[in-house]
Amino acid sequence: MRLWFIFLLPLLCCLSSRVRSEEDYSDVTVIVRGSETIASTSDMFVCATIDWWPPEKCNYDQCPWGRASVLNLVSSKNIPFYHVAFGVSARTKFCSFCEFSQDLTNPLLAKAIQAFSPLRIRVGGSLQDQVLYGTPNLGSPCDPFTKVSGGLFGFSQGCITLERWDAINDVFLNTGAVVTFGLNALQGRQQISRGVWGGPWNSSNAREFMEYTVSMNYPIDSWEFGNELSGSGIGASVGAEQYGKDLVELQTIINELYGDSRKPLVVAPGGFYDQKWFAQLLEVSGPNVLNAMTHHIYNLGAGNDPQVPNRILNPQYLSQTSNTFRDLQLTIQRHGPWSAPWVGEAGGAYNSGSRLVSNTFLNSFWYLDQLGQSAKYDTKVYCRQTLIGGNYGLLDTDTFVPNPDYYSALLWHRLMGNGVLSMDISGSPFLRAYVHCGKQKGGVALLLLNLHRSMGFMVSVRNDLNANVAEGQGIRRDSDFVHGLKRTVSWVGSKASDGYSKREEYHLSAKDGNPFARTMLLNGVPLELTEDGDIPPLYPVEVSVNSPIYVAPLTIAFVVFPDFEAEACGR
């Protein structure tokens, strides 16, 4: 049934655009400057986190973390392998799901990670600096977190056993995940005043944990040092001078443990950007110690703030984060050009996210927009809070079913290449646009976000090198034919002049037109797990490059031009 529907989609799209009145859409021109890139991302730009929060973590009279912690994700007390989204009959239909999980081998979790091939996973979060490692010389019982009055974030110290670490690494190895692990940077320090901690880092427990990790050949890509201890900190802070000295010690430990083999990166501080503190950290730690500066962003406000939906659709509000990306880029250039900017954690709304927004289609607008903004300022990695857990998980905490942002992340990962291009755009600020070199098929990939609730956009995409080539190709720009189409034709260069070249379009919309829907549509087809629990295929529609790109109100479109002439992209 779906095959005929997908076949007709290009025709339906064109027909629907023709019957719309001019009042329904606005004209926008995008000119892509393909001669050089302005920034670049890493191959594993898209990243997701796994946090430490236990089930007792609550905000706003709700406790949305369930058993999604590093310490208990899919433990024996969790849900069955089959998930409630399949319904009761699924228990007998999918026998592979019909047992209670004893470890981290839930197939839905594994398949969600494997679909990225690979996905970077950052293990860390607020309780990171209270984590002990259950090594032989720990000297105390290896107990989980418990709620305590007066504890940092209301919890005691917690411990991860080596057996649990083995189980987690089995998942990472089996799914091909690329791992960034956050170390406890408070160990050994003393609180010297309210929220301020001093003294050197005691590295003994972390070193023994790292020794075990190396002995087991667990391929850690990067070790991150601390979580939200920079500047004034969140709950606790450490001065930049001492932090920089401790980073030098961490780098020394890595050099000793890894010898001549490939060494993991050192990344820090995993906190909110503070220009003076970040600059001092780079200067104290010195050249080639800190490979990446990780910073956190939660720009939408508290999870219970009723203004969160309005902020997501406010282009001026969204653009404010560019200041942070720009400032961090300049700080690194001036004080530590050997380092690179990473977003180590970003969840939109803080305090576990918004229960009514963070797991809905609407949330993809700020998320994809921030991916695009950060990439323009040379951000190499962007870690979404979270892969699973809280209200902002890419996967539902209880069912492991992907939320809409999962598919947004997957499409970005598959389509948007490393090279970031500049562009000029005319028209309404409610149409956000970002362009990269294409990842799979060359050319360029364009992301279009229509934030307007009622206005659609007809988009003309032009190549700055060929914006005026039409007349030279035998088509006069002022001819009756061209005049009638000038608002909708995509001029992408001489390779598209014969009219036979195609582009690929991936239009994302909300089920039933409800922006708060938990189901996302791709070209009109619901994105749902297959009967075997697999991630569904993400098929585009192929459209002639000389047909209009229509971006409906409150929709998102990825558009790939495989034959676009962009010198910087090798075409």
The token pair at 348 is 């939109």
How many Cβ atoms are within 10 Å of 343's Cβ, its own excluded?
A: 26
CA distance 465 to 296: 38
Pairing label, strands 25-40, 456-463 = parallel
Using CB atoms within 10 A of its CB, is residue 453 exposed (0-12), middle (13-18) or buried (19+)? exposed
Which residues are part of the catalytic machinery?
Answer: 228, 345
Angle between helical axes of 204-215 and 240-258 (0-180°, round to 10): 30
Cβ–Cβ under 8 Å, residues 467 and 443: no
How many Cβ atoms are within 10 Å of 478's Cβ, its own excluded?
A: 9
CA distance 206 to 183: 7
For 460, the enclosing helix (H) or strand (E) is strand 456-463
Distance of CA 64 to the CA centre of its chain: 20
The token pair at 476 is 């006069």
The token pair at 95 is 């026998």
Non-local (6+) Cβ contacts of 197 within 8 A are 186, 189, 190, 191, 229, 236, 237, 238
For 302, the enclosing helix (H) or strand (E) is strand 301-302
Distance of CA 180 to the CA centre of its chain: 14
Distance of CA 345 to the CA centre of its chain: 9
Cβ–Cβ under 8 Å, residues 473 and 454: no
Helix, strand or coil, per DSSP, at residue 510: strand
Distances (CA, A) of 350 to 60, 379, 398: 12, 21, 20
CA distance 340 to 448: 27
- Four-point Cα dihedral 208, 213, 216, 221, nearest 10: -160
Phi-psi map region of 318: left, alpha, beta (phi>0 left; psi -120 to 50 alpha): alpha
Nearest partner of 167 among 72, 48, 66, judged by Cα: 72
